[in-house]
């Protein structure tokens, strides 16, 4: 059932013991939301446990409280009043879902969230789940400490590409400004987020050897088999290199960390890639989405490319229709203005 922000806060206040979690393959928003809400609930005197079914990359060591995040112990069950699932639908939290026995409150900003939780607070207009936690903080009356502010700033900054993506709103900037007032040093966060081991930079170079363009240069992808992944360290930043290629409207990375199980990331400059991801059982946002495909390499690659072609096709047709219109208007040469189109444009 969907609830309001005030009702979400009331559920948090009502619970005494809470387990907080976020999605596997955690990003800055997953970790920032988790730690941010954790700090806020600690200030409210709650008994909290931060569980995440994945390793936390060391770049998040800059955030106070990162050491509190634990992996669920195999075979153990955790009892709590409330399980809070952040920045993801329930299918992306791995073993935490079955390990924790509690009512589930899901707080998310992914429009594709199917709403399987007992309580869902979803705001698809917020750039980051950390923006929603910021709103909860505003309502809570808790002091804005530096650890809380650093966590929320990290979530907001990373999900907006450090304030440059289309999801960056006046609210994003106002909340970031407030977090800076609380003492966040933006360079400390951005430097910590950007830092990479040498092997990642080398892996990026190796992976880029495999970039391919198709659909008249409107799609770009790197497709790495399980065998190639034994040699190449392909990291999440690879997609950002493909996204910026001139003329590219959809960029994708498909890679096998496990045999038979492809992970797919997609980015676009406007075409809805979450619709493509949803076809494969994934989701995300219009311009950034992902999914898993449990198929062999050739099949997964072909199906993904076909789905991207299909998403690009309607705009092919616009060109064709425009050409047909021009022809009907008697303008054989498209470089010459047609009287009919000119009139229509007035």
* 89 part of the interface to ligand 5GP, by CB under 6 A: yes
* 161 part of the interface to ligand 5GP, by CB under 6 A: no
Partner that binds at residue 243, options Mn ion, ligand 5GP, none, CB closer than 5 to 8 Å by kind: none
Compute the least distance from the CB of residue 265 to ligand 5GP, in Å.
Answer: 3
The gap between the terminal CA atoms of the chain, to the nearest Å, is 49
List the one residue from 87, 131, 250, 267 that touches Mn ion (CB under 5 A).
87
* 288 part of the interface to ligand 5GP, by CB under 6 A: yes
Phi, psi angles (nearest 5°) of residue 109: -125, 15
* 291 part of the interface to ligand 5GP, by CB under 6 A: yes
Looking at the DSSP bridge assignments, the partners of residue 264 are 254, 291
* 287 part of the interface to ligand 5GP, by CB under 6 A: no
Partner that binds at residue 225, options Mn ion, ligand 5GP, none, CB closer than 5 to 8 Å by kind: none
Stretch of residues binding ligand 5GP (CB under 6 A), selected from 61-69, 147-155, 283-291, 301-309: 283-291
**What count of other Cβ atoms lies within 10 Å of the Cβ of residue 345?**
7
Q: Which long-range contacts (CB under 8 A, 24 or more apart) does 67-75 make?
A: 68/35, 68/38, 69/31, 69/34, 69/35, 72/96, 72/99, 72/100, 73/99
Shortest CA distance to 285 belongs to which of 166, 176, 190, 169? 166
Shortest CA distance to 38 belongs to which of 166, 159, 170, 136? 136
CA distances from 187 to 59, 107, 248 (A): 14, 28, 30
- 94 vs 282, beta carbon nearer ligand 5GP: 282
Q: How far apart are CA 49 and CA 79, in angstroms?
A: 11
Length of the chain, please? 346
Compute the least distance from the CB of residue 159 to Mn ion, in Å.
Answer: 5
- 274 vs 338, beta carbon nearer ligand 5GP: 274
Compute the least distance from the CB of residue 167 to ligand 5GP, in Å.
Answer: 10
Binding site for ligand 5GP (CB under 6 A): 89, 92, 110, 112, 265, 282-285, 288-292
Binding site for Mn ion (CB under 5 A): 29, 87, 129, 159
């Amino acid at each position: 059932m969907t609830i309001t922000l005030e009702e979400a806060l009331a559920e948090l206040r009502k619970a005494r013991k809470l387990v907080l979690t976020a999605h596997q393959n955690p990003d800055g928003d997953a970790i920032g939301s988790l730690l941010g809400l954790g700090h806020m609930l600690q200030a409210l005197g709650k008994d909290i446990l931060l569980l995440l079914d994945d390793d936390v990359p060391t770049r998040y060591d800059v955030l106070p409280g990162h050491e509190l995040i634990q992996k669920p112990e195999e075979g153990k069950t955790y009892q709590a009043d409330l399980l809070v699932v952040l920045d993801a639908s329930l299918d992306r939290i791995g073993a935490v879902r079955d390990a924790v026995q509690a009512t589930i409150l899901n707080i998310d900003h992914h429009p594709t969230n199917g709403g399987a939780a007992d309580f869902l607070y979803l705001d698809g207009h917020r750039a980051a789940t950390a923006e929603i936690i910021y709103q909860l903080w505003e309502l809570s009356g808790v002091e804005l400490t530096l650890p809380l502010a650093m966590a929320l700033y990290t979530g907001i900054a990373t999900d907006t590409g450090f304030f440059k993506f289309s999801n960056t709103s006046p609210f994003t900037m106002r909340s970031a400004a407030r977090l800076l007032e609380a003492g966040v040093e933006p360079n400390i966060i951005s430097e910590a987020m950007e830092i990479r081991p040498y092997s990642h930079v080398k892996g990026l170079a190796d992976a880029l050897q495999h970039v391919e363009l198709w659909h008249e240069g409107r799609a770009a992808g790197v497709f790495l088999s399980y065998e190639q992944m034994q040699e190449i360290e392909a990291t999440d930043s690879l997609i950002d290199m493909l996204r910026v290629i001139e003329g590219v409207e959809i960029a994708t990375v498909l890679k096998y960390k496990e045999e038979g199980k492809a992970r797919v990331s997609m980015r676009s400059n406007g075409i809805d890639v979450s619709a493509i991801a949803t076809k494969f059982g994934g989701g995300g946002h219009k311009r950034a989405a992902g999914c898993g495909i449990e198929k062999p390499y050739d099949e997964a690659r072909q199906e993904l490319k076909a789905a991207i072609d299909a998403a690009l096709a309607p705009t092919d047709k616009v060109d064709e229709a425009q050409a047909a219109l021009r022809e009907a208007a008697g303008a054989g040469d498209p470089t010459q203005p047609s009287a009919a189109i000119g009139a229509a444009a007035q």
